[in-house]
Amino acid sequence: MNNKTEDHAPNPRDISIQEYDYSLPEDRIAKFPLKERDASKLLIYDNGAIREDTYKNITAYLPEGSSLVFNNTKVVEARILFQKDTGSVIEIFALEPDSRYSDIQTAMLEKGSVYWKCLVGGASKWKKGIVLEKKILDSLILHAAIIEQLPDCFLIHLNWSDKELTFAELLHHAGLIPLPPYLKRKSEQSDAERYQTIYAKAEGSVAAPTAGLHFTDYIFNQMGKANIKREYVTLHVGAGTFKPVKASRLEGHEMHAEFMDVDMETLKSLQSSNRIYAVGTTSLRTLESLYWMGVKCTIDPNINIQDLEMKQWEIYDTWIKCKVPSSTAIHNLINYMASRKMQRIICKTSLLITPGYEREWTDGIITNFHQPQSTLLLLIASFVGDDWKRIYQYALSNEYRFLSYGDGMLIR
């Protein structure tokens, strides 16, 4: 793992997003998944060399004794459609819980009523004070009311007639799976299964950690035979993952904060791993966030849990000068948790990984192909530099399928 200790790094604020653009034809976007998850093509990038295979054989390219880290978040049915008496439709897209809840898991278990930050389609047709009603089952009715308009969304009060039903259960009855907007199609019944990983567990995401969609029980069995460990972290993916970088310089882009949840046993297990591969950009951001949280604990063992939250620019502004070996950082994070009798660490991260960032706790990544001018593409460029152009051109020239339901790559 990378344990370099330079005291400076390029500030990403000056990065021009136009330098991370490429032409993605509409017909290269995978609108539907392949019939078999692990039949997707796999591009292997290894120190500049490119080769091809399928996900079914991915174990052959992973070192024995290494660990793969998966994001076990589960996509919730976050799109709720209300039809007004006039016939017009109002769509509520449930983004994240209000700040009155400590974390997503707590909020998802609320019964009878929740306050949620939402995008609203058709907001001009819904005035404050008007309560929307949706009859779901004979005995289940959902109401929605606007509490206030926030800078980029609305705070909505949702309440339902069955007071023993949790919000997670309510969404199962009332909502639809929120497919990425670039698919330009309505969700189908098959998406309820295929837009989830087979190991999805912790409900709370509005987008799937798509690198994990390719993994199957067959691959897991092959990994076991090769002594490759599976570890799980949780980062609840927000709608910000689809947010394009509209500013000409990265300084003008605001990363959306997302909840992460990692338990003590996972940290201890990964501490002894000789090679760590992140399955997806969300797993990578979680792992690297944990490293920097450990740095904070190293500098200040009495730091408040709220101050462990990773802000977008703070690494580049402050913590880059305080780097320690990853083994030290994680050891001190574990000690911090133990001293407070914390079995899990739950907080937010807005960590931004760009070219110039040096990974501290991750050796490689398994990921899909990402949108032009996106922060996810910047993250890939942090691994391979300008070679991202060669990788993407190779994929475009060799019939790879792009984005959420598409093919992927292993960078090591």
d(Cα 379, Cα 396) in Å, to the nearest integer?
A: 19
Residue whose C-alpha is closest to residue 274's, from 234, 232, 229: 229
Whether the pLDDT of residue 401 is over 90: the answer is yes
The predicted structure's pLDDT at residue 1: 54
d(Cα 125, Cα 28) in Å, to the nearest integer?
A: 36
Query: pLDDT tens, 318-359?
Result: 999 999 999 999 999 999 999 999 999 999 999 999 999 999
Range of the domain at 242: 12-74+193-411
The domain boundary, picked from 121, 144, 176, lies at: 176
The predicted structure's pLDDT at residue 85: 83
List beta partners, residue 391.
Answer: none
**Residues 237 and 362 occupy one common structural domain:** yes
- Within-domain flag for 5: no
| Average pLDDT of the segment spanning 278-287 | 97
Q: Which residues of 235-270 are buried (b: 16+ CB within 10 A; e: fewer)?
A: bbbbbbbbeebeeeebeebebbbbbbbbbeebbeeb
Which positions ≥6 away from 408 have C-beta within 8 Å? 40, 41, 42, 43, 55, 211, 214, 366, 367, 368, 369
d(Cα 175, Cα 156) in Å, to the nearest integer?
A: 15
- Within-domain flag for 367: yes
The domain boundary, picked from 147, 176, 205, lies at: 176
| CATH number of the domain within which 98 lies | 2.40.10.240
Query: pLDDT tens, 166-221?
Result: 999 999 999 999 999 899 998 898 999 999 999 999 999 999 999 999 999 999 99
| Average pLDDT of the segment spanning 137-163 | 94
Other beta carbons within 10 angstroms of residue 147's beta carbon come to: 13
**Residues 199 and 345 occupy one common structural domain:** yes
Largest CA distance in the chain: 64
Whether the pLDDT of residue 136 is over 50: the answer is yes
Residue 91 identity (one-letter amino acid):
E
Q: Do residues 112 and 165 lie in contact, with contact meaning Cβ atoms separated by under 8 Å?
A: yes
**Residues 39 and 118 occupy one common structural domain:** no
Question: Which token pair is 147?
Answer: 């509490």
**Residues 397 and 301 occupy one common structural domain:** yes
Residue whose C-alpha is closest to residue 31's, from 411, 402, 412: 402
Residue whose structure tokens are 């509005």: 206
Share of the chain above pLDDT 90, in %: 87
The predicted structure's pLDDT at residue 3: 42
Whether the pLDDT of residue 5 is over 50: the answer is no
Overall pTM surpassing 0.85 (yes/no)? yes
The single-letter DSSP state of residue 363 is S
Q: Do residues 267 and 231 lie in contact, with contact meaning Cβ atoms separated by under 8 Å?
A: no
| Average pLDDT of the segment spanning 300-317 | 95
Residue whose C-alpha is closest to residue 116's, from 138, 142, 141: 142
Phi, psi of 374 (to 5 degrees): -115, 155
- Within-domain flag for 122: yes
Which positions ≥6 away from 314 have C-beta within 8 Å? none
**Residues 118 and 42 occupy one common structural domain:** no
Alpha helices in 100-159 (DSSP H): 104-108
The domain boundary, picked from 141, 176, 211, lies at: 176
- Within-domain flag for 4: no
List beta partners, residue 1.
Answer: none
Average pLDDT, the chain: 93
The predicted structure's pLDDT at residue 4: 40
Region label for 277, one of left (φ > 0), alpha (ψ between -120 and 50) or beta (otherwise):
beta
**Pairing mode, if any, of strands 41-46 and 408-411?**
parallel
The SS3 of residue 35 is: coil
**Residues 123 and 210 occupy one common structural domain:** no
- Within-domain flag for 292: yes
The predicted structure's pLDDT at residue 242: 62
d(Cα 28, Cα 38) in Å, to the nearest integer?
A: 19
Residue whose C-alpha is closest to residue 347's, from 357, 361, 336, 359: 336
**Residues 62 and 121 occupy one common structural domain:** no
- Within-domain flag for 318: yes
**The sheet that has 276-279: what strands, in order across it?**
49-54, 41-46, 408-411, 364-368, 276-279, 67-71, 229-235, 258-263, 344-349
- Within-domain flag for 87: yes
**Residues 217 and 270 occupy one common structural domain:** yes
**Residues 238 and 103 occupy one common structural domain:** no
Residue 2 identity (one-letter amino acid):
N
Residue whose C-alpha is closest to residue 231's, from 187, 262, 207: 262
With the CA atoms of 71, 75, 76 and 80 taken in that order, what torsion angle do they form, in degrees rounded to the nearest 10? 140
| Average pLDDT of the segment spanning 302-307 | 95
Query: pLDDT tens, 241-278?
Result: 666 688 888 999 888 889 999 999 999 999 999 899 99
The predicted structure's pLDDT at residue 10: 56
**Residues 111 and 208 occupy one common structural domain:** no
**Residues 251 and 364 occupy one common structural domain:** yes
| CATH number of the domain within which 264 lies | 3.40.1780.10
Total number of domains in the chain: 2
- Within-domain flag for 3: no
**Residues 32 and 122 occupy one common structural domain:** no
